[in-house]
Structure 1
Amino acid sequence: MNQWENIDAHALLKLLADGSLKPDQIIDVREHHEWDYYRLDGTTHIPMSIFPDQLASLAKSEPWYILCAHGVRSVAVCRYMQENGYDTLHNIVGGIAAVAELKGFQYD
């Protein structure tokens, strides 16, 4: 059973808008070409392909919001982080595609 919280794009944008969430707490795990195509300003970009090498740079005491294109890779990263001692994790269901749609951008 997962021990992270699933949140949708609407909830994510509300947290950002009201200041409850800093953009750098969002980890975008998409690859560079995806990141270059569309992204949320200020987010932390750690491609999934190099994520294990970067994990130690992330504080275990911080809440992290994991974002990918559609919400599949973010589940895998949440699972990986959980297995490595991170316990305040949030998977963004629908990924950047859902966020982009709410912001009026057709991601794919």
Structure 2
Amino acid sequence: MKKWQDVTPQKLLELLESGEAESKQIIDVREPFEWDYYHLEGSALIPMNAVPSRMSELDDTGPIYIVCAHGVRSVAVCNYLEEQGYSNLRNVSGGMAAIASLKGFQYD
């Protein structure tokens, strides 16, 4: 049974705006070419395939928000990190496509 939680893009933006979450807590697991197109300022790019070798960069003292393009890779990363002992994980459902639509950006 999964322990990580889903968070909506709207909720993530609200948490960032209110200061309850910081952009440094957001890990973007897309590829660099996707990141270059659009990303949340201050978030960290750790492509999905690089997560195993870069886990030391994750700060598990607070929630870690995992985001990808549409919410598929982020689920896989949440599952993987949970298996590795991380417990404070949040999957951003809908991914950057949903965030972009909320922020008024066009995202393919």
Name the TM tier (shorter chain): over 0.9
Aligned residue number for residue 71 of structure 1: 71
Letter in 2 for 1:52: P
* Deviation (angstroms), 1:57: 2.3
Give, in whole Å, the separation in 1 of the partners of 2:28 and 2:61: 19
Structure 2: gaps spanning 5 or more residues: none
Letter in 1 for 2:32: H
Give, in whole Å, the separation in 2 of the partners of 1:62 and 1:86: 11
Aligned residue number for residue 22 of structure 1: 22
Return structure 1 stretches of 4+ with deviation > 6 angstroms: none
Aligned residue number for residue 107 of structure 2: 107
Matched pairs, number: 108
Aligned residue number for residue 46 of structure 1: 46
Deviates further, 16-25 or 48-57:
48-57
Three-state SS of the structure 1 residue aligned to 2:90 is: strand
- TM-score, scaled to structure 1: 0.96
Letter in 2 for 1:63: P
* Deviation (angstroms), 1:44: 1.0
* Deviation (angstroms), 1:56: 2.1
Aligned residue number for residue 81 of structure 1: 81
Q: Is the 8 A contact 1:25 1:43 kept in 2?
A: yes
1:12-65 Cα deviation digits (max 9, x unpaired)? 000000000000100000000000010010001101121111012213333200
Three-state SS of the structure 2 residue aligned to 1:51 is: helix
Identical pairs, percent: 54
Give, in whole Å, the separation in 2 of the partners of 1:80 and 1:62: 18
Give, in whole Å, the separation in 2 of the partners of 1:21 and 1:57: 17
Give, in whole Å, the separation in 1 of the partners of 2:57 and 2:17: 26
